[in-house]
Structure 1
């Protein structure tokens, strides 16, 4: 499964004057991409094609669905398509699996050729949503049925709905941890580091696996924001000149990752890691731990069974910090599914989106939280229930401030939701680049403060 490496770097806009529905009255913002990206993305004009109905009112048309799930496109997703087409015989659902989903689809947004239904790339900022996606309804309306509606909304309109929800923590091989003498979740970062050190000393397993080479798993660390600072974590950071200061949430998240690598508790050569192989490694007990969302648990359990073990060998524990005596886990929507604003089959596309969210069973199969308010918690969170973990949902930005956070980190060139800056500070931690922890976080604070001043002045 190819997950979400969300980057946040600046790019330069490309004119789109040849667009037949280009609306010069709409202010457009370039989609942010990695600095190394060859293609630069442009804003599109207002409008969007309507769907196609048959003569009898039946929904018809071909719906092209872009997906990151290369592993299940010919199995699970194909089965969903057959079920949907039985209900809507006039619709043909075709999938296009994209291996480098974030990179390739972000580039394709420069054109009108990005399917009818797709997962919204994490690089798209909120103020850019209307440029590329059709509105699905108001936050007030959709919020009566679905969770996480604010996460892909702008000015009260929703442009994408979560395919499922995920809780943050870390996946572990409980047999390996038990062999090292740890049978309960560590409660502090230092206890966590001590647990990894015990695994290193008492077992043959690699205590922690960064998945540095694939990159996007490093971005999973950022999804823990809110587990210390609470629901207003994002707002607090937009108003803070030095979030990488000891005692603050951003420092707690990144310093733990830094110290894991600095103390030699991760894989020997991070440049050779491999995501698909990492599932087999943790399933077989060759790796003990990875920070990921609850979505990863079923995949690791499957790998454990394939290695001759049991699904029970895989656990999911909360991050090692308590607030007011309790563990907390940030829950949020995973990839948001949206409809291209240039779709020629918008009605058929909407029918697919509604059926996929409400009736396919995808969320439950992936071990995720249901995107629906009336959904049930997945088995992957049984450990959380046992340890009394409190769920935290991040508060949306105040009206008119939806893009302030992304404006700051784009200006600072710190891809908070990506992997580049974490790869850079891990290079320092492992001795492949000059510096130390104080230098790394001092530099991040300086860049952040300068960016805040620039954004405030603009």
Structure 2
């Protein structure tokens, strides 16, 4: 199961129309029956039933009903053309920030909530108001098989790209495992490399600066560092022999059992890899191999956000669920994620980051009017940053399937990016 990427996708026409205002039947009391929509079809009849028991014990006048949806994005987008889209739901990725007030009840202002919850300063907010609380958060780096790395003699996280490459070479020579698996065929896993921006500089304004830069693939800049490492890993034969035959589901078992040593994925992947491993302790998480001021950094961002349908007849009960889920369910930590509540202990799945004294970083909000500008520039330049397609080109060149050098690719990316910046406002 993939996790949602917290990024605005193309708006669907039905969303642009909005809905009428909330229902006057809302009593303001924490009572009534509420329907909670979820994408977790795998645990709705197990883990979520325990949540229901605990929540209803605290709020005995509320009854919770779940509706698990396989094609969550597709079905909920359609239902949002009506008032019938549950009382609590995960905000679809296709909802733009300026559309939030048409569909969801505000939970408070950014100023009111920013000292309690992560991700509310920049995600699913509009005009200073917060419309959703994340169900969990993700760090960015590399999921890896610790047992394989230890067999190769590497027991500390590499601090530079050169050390990382040397570690992967040792894995190949001493263990026979595939050092790094790109999951090239599925495309989206290569987009996970984009999540590494900000980790190199430790700069909370990294995304804003990217949108203001005419040449992000210039030597020394973050995209040059990230994509150079990808190119070099492939060029040096440290990835799967034939990337065109990769398989996402099978790759979990490969990493879990030590046939693959490393993948570039968000920290959401740790639990899934552990489930495929004979021993959960074999799976760990590495920071990107750069340090700023002697410290590793990882960017943390929110997953799907729980929100209250503005048309709900039981908004108080729905809001109580949203807050209880963030504050008391322990979902984030149980799923190996970054806690949504500030100050809560990080999960055991991220123990390697704690041991390496990795600094957690959240991006600052973009200047007003520049929200999502980096994505707009990328789309206009046909360099969709998160979908992985342009990085397939890098892999193809590195493995000799295309006759172009790393320098050729970066020069072309810079040219197209600059041209797009001149047209996108």
TM normalised by structure 2 equals 0.88
Whether the 8 Å CA contact 2:284–2:350 is kept in 1: the answer is no
1:315 is paired with a residue whose SS is: strand
1:289 to 239, 258, 262: 262
Match of 1:19 in 2: none
List per-residue Cα deviations over 1:143-180 (Å, max 9, x = no partner). Answer: 13211112221221112222122222211111111222
Write the distance in 1 (CA, Å) between the matches of 2:106 and 2:350.
32
Structure 1 residues without counterparts, runs of 5 or longer = 9-30, 34-38
Write the distance in 1 (CA, Å) between the matches of 2:375 and 2:93.
11
Q: Show the 5 A alignment for 1:11-410.
A: 32=10, 42-45=15-18, 47-50=20-23, 53=26, 57=29, 59-67=31-39, 69-86=40-57, 87-98=59-70, 101=72, 104=74, 108=78, 111-112=81-82, 114-150=85-121, 151-229=123-201, 230-304=203-277, 307=278, 310-341=279-310, 343=312, 345-410=314-379
Q: Show the 5 A alignment for 1:415-426.
A: 415-426=384-395
Write the distance in 2 (CA, Å) between the matches of 1:415 and 1:126.
20
Whether the 8 Å CA contact 1:5–1:418 is kept in 2: the answer is no
Whether the 8 Å CA contact 2:34–2:88 is kept in 1: the answer is no
> Does structure 1 residue 412 correspond to structure 2 residue 381?
yes
List per-residue Cα deviations over 1:313-342 (Å, max 9, x = no partner). Answer: 122221111112221111222232233445
Write the distance in 2 (CA, Å) between the matches of 1:406 and 1:332.
16
Provide closer, same or farther for how the CA distance between residues 258 and 336 of structure 1 changes in structure 2, counting only shifts above 3 A. Answer: farther
Whether the 8 Å CA contact 1:47–1:341 is kept in 2: the answer is no
Provide closer, same or farther for how the CA distance between residues 389 and 449 of structure 1 changes in structure 2, counting only shifts above 3 A. Answer: same
Write the distance in 1 (CA, Å) between the matches of 2:124 and 2:114.
12
Write the distance in 1 (CA, Å) between the matches of 2:406 and 2:79.
38
Deviates further, 225-234 or 130-139:
130-139
Provide closer, same or farther for how the CA distance between residues 216 and 267 of structure 1 changes in structure 2, counting only shifts above 3 A. Answer: same
Whether the 8 Å CA contact 2:186–2:247 is kept in 1: the answer is yes
Write the distance in 1 (CA, Å) between the matches of 2:24 and 2:350.
39
Write the distance in 1 (CA, Å) between the matches of 2:52 and 2:358.
36
Structure 2 residues without counterparts, runs of 5 or longer = none
Write the distance in 2 (CA, Å) between the matches of 1:273 and 1:47.
47
Provide closer, same or farther for how the CA distance between residues 294 and 136 of structure 1 changes in structure 2, counting only shifts above 3 A. Answer: same
Misfit runs of 4+, over 6 Å: none
How far the C-alpha of 1:277 sits from its partner, in A, is 2.7
1:322 is paired with a residue whose SS is: coil
1:350 is paired with a residue whose SS is: helix
Write the distance in 1 (CA, Å) between the matches of 2:87 and 2:393.
36
How far the C-alpha of 1:40 sits from its partner, in A, is 5.7
TM normalised by structure 1 equals 0.82
2:276 is paired with a residue whose SS is: helix
Write the distance in 1 (CA, Å) between the matches of 2:53 and 2:247.
33
Write the distance in 2 (CA, Å) between the matches of 1:211 and 1:273.
5
Provide closer, same or farther for how the CA distance between residues 257 and 6 of structure 1 changes in structure 2, counting only shifts above 3 A. Answer: farther
Write the distance in 1 (CA, Å) between the matches of 2:100 and 2:380.
19
Write the distance in 2 (CA, Å) between the matches of 1:122 and 1:429.
33
Match of 1:3 in 2: 3
Aligned residues: 421
Whether the 8 Å CA contact 1:7–1:415 is kept in 2: the answer is no
1:441 to 410, 415, 418: 410
Provide closer, same or farther for how the CA distance between residues 385 and 403 of structure 1 changes in structure 2, counting only shifts above 3 A. Answer: closer
